[in-house]
Amino acid sequence: MKIFFAGSIRGGRSMLSEYRQIIALLKKLGHDVVSEHVASPKLEEAEARLTEEEIFKSDICFIDESDCVVADVTVPSIGVGYEICYAVSKCKRVLCTYKEGTNVSAMVLGNKGVKAIQYRNMEELEMLLSPHLSF
């Protein structure tokens, strides 16, 4: 399955290590992640060379070509929320992950078009990802 991975960029990069691990888990499960750049420590530097419109068009194109969106919503991000909403509007499968104890928006958790799973650690997330990606 072709997956667009979404994670906070301008909202904060404190989950960068986890993003890399989630992308690695998705690939280990045999999925093609089209947005590996989200986990790059040099992403902000690379995006500085792009216009806002170029970033927007690129992300929309990635979502359009994907079968599914997996978004880590541990760190609140307006951009990730927008990507989730866009994907739902296009009838894409959406799976949100978040660390246990996170206060996730009701607009995400209450949306019937979104599946959400919380995790304590990467080992638990690995066990939970596979069955949730076969929806």
Indicate if the pLDDT at residue 44 is higher than 80: no
Contact by Cβ (8 Å): 80, 71: yes
pLDDT at residue 45 in the model:
73
Domain 2-132's class?
alpha beta
Contact by Cβ (8 Å): 98, 118: yes
Q: Mean of the pLDDT values across residues 60-65?
A: 98
Dist. CA 121–CA 114, nearest whole Å:
21
Tokens at residue 78, please?
């307006």
Indicate if the pLDDT at residue 134 is higher than 80: no
The string of pLDDT tens digits covering residues 68-125 is 999 999 999 999 999 999 999 999 999 999 999 999 999 999 999 999 999 999 999 9
Is the pTM higher than 0.75? The answer reads: yes
> What φ, ψ does residue 104 adopt, rounded to 5°?
-85, 145
Bigger pLDDT: 134 vs 133: 133
User: What's the distance, CA 5 to chain centroid?
Assistant: 4
pLDDT at residue 135 in the model:
54
pLDDT at residue 68 in the model:
96
SS percent in the chain: helix, strand, coil, step 5: 45, 20, 35
Bigger pLDDT: 40 vs 8: 8
State the average pLDDT for the chain: 93
Indicate if the pLDDT at residue 38 is higher than 70: yes
- For the chain, give every domain's residue range: 2-132
Q: Reduced to 3 states, what is the DSSP secondary structure of residue 122?
A: helix
Q: What are the C-alpha distances in Å from 7 to residues 18, 70, 75, 77, 79?
A: 10, 9, 8, 8, 9
